[in-house]
């Protein structure tokens, strides 16, 4: 299994590093979907630098939708305001410069739809406000276990 990563903001607070079953994600906003990258240490350095220069922002839930190839993944949509779009685009630029390859590149850039996947025990309510004050890099296959996820590092936005 090829290593893959995502970058998210955890709404449900978690400890780092934390490992959890893929079926039990804490509530989070996806900022950059599945990608492969060879230069993980360099990525961690770049994310730390970016977080030091970036101010937290406020985001808002804005309705619900069904995602996925079978339209069976329930999500809370996030209002696609300038702040979260700029954050996504900057993260995209960082990983592209390091040679990242995406599973579904059409969901980046103009195809980015900010969302929080509705979890079994947690969800955003319509119009709920969230303080996006951190980024977390998550390993989608820790120790080559497809059924697990591991938070590699969380970066506080400090700008």
Element (H, E) at 61: strand 57-67
Percent of the chain surpassing pLDDT 70: 99
Enumerate the H helices of the chain as residue ranges.
Answer: 40-53, 82-97
Burial 32-67 (b: 16+ CB within 10 A, else e): bbbbebeeeeebeebbeebbeebeebebebbeeeeb
pLDDT in tens, 64-90: 999 988 999 999 999 999 999 999 999
**CA–CA dist 145, 53 (Å, integer):** 34
pTM value? 0.94
**CA–CA dist 26, 117 (Å, integer):** 10
Q: What is the pLDDT of residue 2?
A: 63
Residue ranges of domains in the chain: 5-156
CATH architecture entry for 5-156? Alpha-Beta Complex (3.90)
pLDDT band of 1, cuts 50, 70, 90? very low
pLDDT band of 62, cuts 50, 70, 90? very high
Report angle CA 156, 158, 159 to the nearest 5 degrees.
140
With contact defined as beta carbons under 8 Å apart, do 47 and 94 qualify? yes
**CA–CA dist 93, 56 (Å, integer):** 19
With contact defined as beta carbons under 8 Å apart, do 122 and 26 qualify? yes
pLDDT in tens, 111-141: 999 999 999 889 999 999 999 999 999 999 9
pLDDT band of 153, cuts 50, 70, 90? very high
Q: What is the DSSP letter of 149?
A: E
Please check the confidence at residue 16 and state whether its pLDDT lies above 80: no
Mean of the per-residue pLDDT values of the chain: 93
């Amino acid at each position: 299994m090829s290593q893959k990563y995502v970058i998210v903001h955890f709404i449900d607070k978690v400890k780092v590093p934390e490992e959890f079953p893929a079926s039990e994600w804490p509530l989070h906003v996806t900022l950059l979907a599945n990608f492969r990258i060879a230069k993980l240490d360099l990525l961690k350095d770049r994310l730390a630098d970016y977080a030091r220069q970036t101010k937290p922002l406020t985001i808002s839930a804005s309705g619900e939708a069904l995602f996925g190839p079978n339209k069976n993944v329930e999500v809370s949509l996030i209002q696609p305001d300038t702040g979260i779009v700029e954050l996504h685009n900057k993260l995209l630029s960082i990983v592209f410069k390091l040679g990242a390859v995406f599973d579904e590149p059409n969901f980046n850039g103009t195809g980015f739809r900010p969302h929080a996947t509705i979890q079994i025990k947690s969800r955003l309510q319509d119009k709920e406000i969230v303080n996006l004050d951190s980024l977390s890099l998550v390993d989608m296959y820790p120790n080559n276990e497809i059924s697990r996820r591991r938070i590699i590092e969380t970066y506080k936005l400090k700008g």
